[in-house]
């Protein structure tokens, strides 16, 4: 049986330019209509960020993966992106892109400039952008390098360098004073931060009990309709 999943998801699409609440980063730029967006996906991986983003926006997208078959999904990615077959690989209007943070910024800044980003001249904007980049640049990078090193040689004391625990503690301290990684409102920074913070606890790199504000934020995330819709299409078998 061919289990390739090619979902075209468009039912809740609405005029992005009419979105409310936040003036976006590049406020002067007018939204242009959303073109075809194809998301090459691995279940449970970073490509969920882009699916979730599109669900938050109510925008249409095509989702391509082999259900329950990571190798099969990876073969599909390799077919369109042989040089760096990574999830997400996204094709926007015919252009092949990697790096989830950059993909999110392209989609928001070009097609939804009034959504999921704080206004440019606010402290929230600077914090939002910092967490957008911290998620991969510091948090995921240190989590995975510590994890690999600690598998070979478990640590006997905390590092004097900024280790995994320090990066998660930094997130915890921020959430003690702010509702979201976007500051006052949920933004795409929250979308970026979920994957590495889940990795931190799922792989037992840090102790979940030490980070109650992160745990409370995760509960709020799981209550979002768009997050639930993402799970239903991108992780259909749980």
Ligand X SMILES: N[C@@H](CCC(=O)N[C@@H](CS)C(=O)NCC(=O)O)C(=O)O
Which of 45/229 has CB closer to ligand X? 45
Closest CB 148 distance from ligand X, rounded Å? 13
State the nearest-atom distance from the C-beta of 190 to ligand X, in Å. Answer: 15
**Least distance CB 140 / ligand X (angstroms):** 7
Tell me how far, at minimum, the Cβ of 200 lies from ligand X, in Å. 14
Q: Cβ closer to ligand X: 24 or 87?
A: 87
Smaller CB distance to ligand X: residue 32 or 102? Answer: 102
Nearer to ligand X, 31 or 233 (CB): 233
The length of the chain, given as a count of residues: 238
3-state secondary structure the chain: CCCEEEEEECCCCCCHHHCCCCCCCCCCCCCCCCCCEEEECCCCCCCHHHHHHHHHHCCCEEEEEECCCHHHHHHHHHHHCCCCCCCCEEEECCEEECCHHHHHHHHHHHHCCCCCCCCCCCHHHHHHHHHHHHHHHHHHHHHHHHHHHHHHCCCCCCCCCCCHHHHHHHHHHHHHHCCECCECCCCHHHHHHHHHHHHHHHCCCCCHHHCHHHHHHHHHHHCCHHHHHHHHHHCCCC
Question: What minimum distance in Å lies between the beta carbon of 137 and ligand X?
Answer: 9
Footprint of ligand X on this chain (CB under 6 A)?
Answer: 42, 45-46, 86-88, 98-101, 136
Nearer to ligand X, 87 or 191 (CB): 87
């Amino acid at each position: 049986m061919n289990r390739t999943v090619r979902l075209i998801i468009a039912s809740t699409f609405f005029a992005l330019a009419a979105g409310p609440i936040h003036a976006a980063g590049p406020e002067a730029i007018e939204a242009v209509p959303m073109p075809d967006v194809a998301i090459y996906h691995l279940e449970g991986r970073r490509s969920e960020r882009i699916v979730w983003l599109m669900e938050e926006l109510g925008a249409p997208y095509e989702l391509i993966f082999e259900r329950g078959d990571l190798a099969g999904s990876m073969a599909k990615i390799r077919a369109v992106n042989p040089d760096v077959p990574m999830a997400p690989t996204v094709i926007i209007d015919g252009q092949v892109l990697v790096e989830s943070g950059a993909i999110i910024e392209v989609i928001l800044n070009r097609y939804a400039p009034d959504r999921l980003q704080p206004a440019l001249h606010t402290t929230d904007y600077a914090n939002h952008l910092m967490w957008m980049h911290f998620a991969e640049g510091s948090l995921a990078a240190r989590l995975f390098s510590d994890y690999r090193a600690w598998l070979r040689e478990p640590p006997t004391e905390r590092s004097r360098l900024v280790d995994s625990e320090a990066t998660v503690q930094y997130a915890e301290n921020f959430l003690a004073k702010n509702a979201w990684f976007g500051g006052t409102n949920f933004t795409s920074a929250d979308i970026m931060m979920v994957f590495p913070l889940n990795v931190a606890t799922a792989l037992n790199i840090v102790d979940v009990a030490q980070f109650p504000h992160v745990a409370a934020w995760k509960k709020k995330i799981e209550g979002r309709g768009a997050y639930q819709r993402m799970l239903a299409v991108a992780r259909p078998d749980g």
